[in-house]
């Protein structure tokens, strides 16, 4: 009873996508430990940016019935309202790889996710610019700079940060996990809390997918990098738009899609979202996910078997679903890899591996995969 109440409450807070799903595996077995192929960073050297800028993309509009009268300009009659677009900030380095990285944040986050880390180090934006990738950082519709929403929303300040500390696996508040790759000083934790930013309209995976697809219509071929709740719209974007040439997903949870007839049983969990279900989609749509390389990463402190420690068990269900999903993708001729980072020697990561203390090691792991899949071509 209590759990049900909490679950409903949480759903409301998060406006998680209702699409959720099954999955299949492939914990990366061919582990290359961080000592091999580490890419040299030149943090003190300048970034040479051939082009940078921003744009709004996708979205819809409505026009109020009637006729606009400039003499009565506060009446909505005949006036328009544009909304539900995404915002993109992009940077193209000199001698860029052909395929840009397009970054989509997770729940309660914005493009800030990929920028400077809470303790002031370089995030994936700079790290991959240095590795010669063009980067596109998105604010999804109804978030951040893309705040114009086609639906009304009420935003309330809610004291919830110790929940997020725990849900995002910094530890079990107030304790940090002993091996956690998160800075423990209060200034860093404050930055982490402040980088959350609310929805200005309810979460809608279809609307996000349409806008992210519009990004790929505009820029052409690219690699989509998603985080957490961005995972679901990520799969949907790849189904919708063949310009998505690969997907990198950090800790997706909901939104795993299975072909009709192959939907697995929900995975029960003591996590605060309860059991995790997949989403059934037509085989023809699913097959589009088998035509591109996909890699999924999970961090540390995720239970290996069911436990009553809710954060650890929540992500256990996510990881298990990811493995099941990758199995189905690969059985259908696809190329999906699930990397549980501790299994390849990268320990202590939170729900935000790309901004953790060891994020260059995490980036090295991604660089290795991109190279392996020939996604680093000029």
Of residues 63-102, those binding a second copy (CB under 8 A) = 63-64, 68, 70, 72-74, 76, 78-83, 85, 87, 89, 94
Which residues make Cβ contacts (< 8 Å) with residue 324, sequence separation at least 6? 22, 23, 24, 25, 256, 264
Structure tokens that stand for 339 in this block: 């990397």
For 195-208, give the secondary structure using H, E and C: CCCCCCCCCCHHHH
Binding region for a second copy (CB under 8 A) out of 24-32, 158-166, 240-248, 328-336 = 158-166
Residue of 18, 98, 198, 342 interacting with a second copy (CB under 8 A):
198
Q: How far apart are CA 207 and CA 230, in angstroms?
A: 12
Q: Residue 184 has which token pair?
A: 């423990």
231 near a second copy, judged by CB under 8 A? no
Q: Which residue, 164 or 332, has its beta carbon nearer to a second copy?
A: 164
With the C-alpha atoms ordered 159, 297, 36, 101, is the resulting torsion angle positive or negative?
A: negative
Cβ-contact 246, 8 below 8 angstroms: no
Of 147 and 299, CB closest to a second copy:
147
Q: How far apart are CB 120 and a second copy at their closest, in Å?
A: 7
Cα-Cα end-to-end distance for the chain: 56
Binding map of a second copy across residues 118-147, x = CB under 8 A, - = no contact: --x-x---x------------x---xxxxx
Residue of the chain from 32, 196, 219, 343 that contacts a second copy (CB under 8 A): 196
> Does residue 41 touch a second copy according to CB under 8 A?
no
Among 9, 218, 291, 374, binds a second copy (CB under 8 A): 9
Question: Which helix (DSSP H) or strand (DSSP E) does residue 297 occupy?
Answer: strand 293-298
SS3 category, 166: helix
Measured from the CB atom, is 158 or 283 closer to a second copy? 158
- Minimal distance in Å, beta carbon 329 to a second copy? 33
Closer of 41 and 115 to a second copy (Cβ): 115
DSSP string covering 246-278: EEEEES--S--EEETT-PPPPBP-SSTT-SB-B
Rule CB under 8 A: say whether 157 interacts with a second copy. Answer: yes
Q: Is 348 in the site for a second copy (CB under 8 A)?
A: no
Q: Is 112 one of the binding residues for a second copy (CB under 8 A)?
A: yes
């Amino acid at each position: 009873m209590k759990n049900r109440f909490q679950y409903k409450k949480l759903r409301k807070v998060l406006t998680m996508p209702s699409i959720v799903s099954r999955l299949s595996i492939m914990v990366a077995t061919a582990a290359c430990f961080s000592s091999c192929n580490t890419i040299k960073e030149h943090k003190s050297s300048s970034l040479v940016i051939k082009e940078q800028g921003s744009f709004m993309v996708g979205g819809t509009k409505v026009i109020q019935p009637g006729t606009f009268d400039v003499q009565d300009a506060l009446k909505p009659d005949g006036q328009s309202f544009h909304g539900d677009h995404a915002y993109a900030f992009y940077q193209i380095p000199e001698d860029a790889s052909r395929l840009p990285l397009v970054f989509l944040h997770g729940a309660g986050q914005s493009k800030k996710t990929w920028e400077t880390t809470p303790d002031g180090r370089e995030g994936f934006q700079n790290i991959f610019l240095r590795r010669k990738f063009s980067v596109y950082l998105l604010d999804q519709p109804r978030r951040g700079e893309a705040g114009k929403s086609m639906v009304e929303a009420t935003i309330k300040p809610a004291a919830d940060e110790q929940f997020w500390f725990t849900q995002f696996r910094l530890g079990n508040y107030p304790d940090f996990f002993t091996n956690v790759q998160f800075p423990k000083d209060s200034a860093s934790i404050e930055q982490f809390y402040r980088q959350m930013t609310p929805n200005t309209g309810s979460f809608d995976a279809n609307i996000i997918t349409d806008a992210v697809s519009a990004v790929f219509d505009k820029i052409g071929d690219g690699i989509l990098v998603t985080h957490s709740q961005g995972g679901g719209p990520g799969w949907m974007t790849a189904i919708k738009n063949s310009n998505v040439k690969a997907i990198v997903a950090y800790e997706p949870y909901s939104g795993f899609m299975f072909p009709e007839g192959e939907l697995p049983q929900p995975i029960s969990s003591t996590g605060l979202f309860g059991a995790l279900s997949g989403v059934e989609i037509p085989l023809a749509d699913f097959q589009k996910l088998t035509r591109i390389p996909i890699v999924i990463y999970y961090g540390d402190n995720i239970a290996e078997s069911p436990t009553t420690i809710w954060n650890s068990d929540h992500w256990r269900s996510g990881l298990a679903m990811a493995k099941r999903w990758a199995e189905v993708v690969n059985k259908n001729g696809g190329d999906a890899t699930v990397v549980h980072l501790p299994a390849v020697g990268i320990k202590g990561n939170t729900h935000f591996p790309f901004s953790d203390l060891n994020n260059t090691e995490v980036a090295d792991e991604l660089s290795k995969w991109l190279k392996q899949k020939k996604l680093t071509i000029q």
